[in-house]
Amino acid sequence: MGKTRKRGGADRDKGGEGLFVGKHARQFAAEVCLDVYTDNPYAQALIREVAKARSKGSLGTSVGLFFLSPVQGLGLLSNSLTPNGFDAETEKLICNEAPAELRYVLTGKYNKDLGLECAEGSPVSVLLSNPNYSPREQAYLYLYLKSLAKPETGNGVEGLSGAIEHLGKVKSPDAATFAANQMELLSAYQKYEKNLTKLVVVTKQLGAVTGAKELMLIIPYDVVENVLEMKGFPVEVAKFSQSQNIKKTHLWCTGGVASGFASESKSKGIAVRENVLQLPHFAPKSAATQDK
């Protein structure tokens, strides 16, 4: 699955390629908590130049704070949405493996740990070959999918293959990041609530059904309604809920919700909550401002 990946979309392997330079880039990024696959051009230039210098032995292991000052907030690892969005073992894997090797390792994990078919053309193969995901996002998607399919306690969710097929179809880096964020939120919610039974795709959005036949949708937009994909969303969600005999539909949003969108959703029987990252499902107990 090397360079045959370029079948449309972006190629987000930059930062991790190039033998010695790629190795030093990943190590430097890990040291200073930068995402080696960040799309920010300044951060990419910084990582690349430091990696080149290190590969020639012209820069020591210690990196001065002056390297960090221009790029604070740009591609930092802390940009995950939840406290559970950072995993030490996954970070080690991202740091140690170049993009092609990382995809190879992930292929084995999907097959061995989740029992999924990974032959060419399979949903897993299509997902791992999608160039719109950065290798970091690919690694974390596996982590989130595994946490839903094989949780430490309780039963796993169904619908994994359908979710993977949906994830493999994204056609832009923004859509890929959005999809990875959705998976992170669903994984974090399930870790807290433990009531999801099946992953579903509703009008091009990932969601899940609970054991009580309730539909849970978590949308990581800053302001819901200001995005083209959300136009007509309440109507389509209502149709899906009716066709699946859903008893109640929940729409949780990480940002604000425009009043018109909220009113339309309510009229369709959709319970809307905004700024949900403040809920204990997604925040440390000390930072949570609301009870469940």
pLDDT of residue 159: 95
Three-state DSSP state, 238? helix
pLDDT tens digits, one per residue of 231-273: 788 999 999 999 999 999 999 999 888 888 889 999 999 999 9
Q: Which of 50-54, 87-91, 115-119, 282-286 has the lowest mean pLDDT?
A: 282-286
Percentage of residues of the chain with pLDDT beyond 90: 52
Listed range (13-17, 101-105, 157-161, 259-263) with the worst mean pLDDT: 13-17
Q: Let me know: does 235 contact 226? Beta carbons within 8 Å.
A: no
Please enumerate, as own/partner, the contacts of 117-124 that have beta carbons within 8 Å and a separation of 24 or more: 123/161, 123/164, 123/165, 123/168, 124/164
Confidence category of residue 284, pLDDT binned at 50, 70, 90: low
Q: What is the domain extent for residue 87?
A: 3-211
Is residue 14 assigned to a domain? yes
Instruction: Say if residue 187 is exposed, middle or buried (CB neighbours under 10 Å; 0-12, 13-18, 19+).
Output: buried
Tell me the mean pLDDT in the region 214-235.
79
Given pLDDT bands bounded at 50, 70 and 90, which one contains residue 228?
Answer: low
Q: Is 250 helix (H, G, I), strand (E, B) or coil?
A: strand
Phi first, then psi: give them for residue 95, nearest 5 degrees: -70, -40
Counting residues of the chain whose pLDDT is more than 70, the rounded percentage is: 78
Q: Where are the alpha helices (DSSP H) in 115-199?
A: 123-129, 135-149, 160-167, 173-193
pLDDT above 50 for 19 = no
**pLDDT tens sequence across 53-110:** 777 766 554 444 445 455 555 555 555 788 878 898 999 999 899 999 999 999 999 9
DSSP per residue, 2-59? -GGG-SSS----TTS-SHHHHHHHHHHHHHTTB-TT---HHHHHHHHHHHHHHHTT-S
Are 196 and 144 within 8 A, CB to CB? no
Judge whether 31 and 153 are in contact, CB under 8 Å: no
In a domain, 90, yes or no: yes
- Identify whether 112 is part of a domain: yes
pLDDT at res. 25? 83
Q: Is residue 53 part of a domain?
A: yes
Mean pLDDT score of the chain: 82
Within-domain flag for 239: no
Query: 204 in a domain, yes or no?
Result: yes
Number of domains present in the structure of the chain: 1
User: Do the domain assignments include residue 230?
Assistant: no
As a whole number of angstroms, the distance between CA 86 and CA 93 comes to: 13
CA distance 101 to 1: 10
At residue 58, the pLDDT reads 63
Give the Cα separation of 278 and 189 in Å (integer). Answer: 12
203 pLDDT tier (thresholds 50, 70, 90): confident
| Residue 133 covered by a domain | yes
Residue 164 in this model has a pLDDT that exceeds 60: yes
Contacts of 60 (CB under 8 A, 6+ apart): none
Q: Which has more confidence, 7 or 204?
A: 204
pLDDT in the model for residue 26: 85
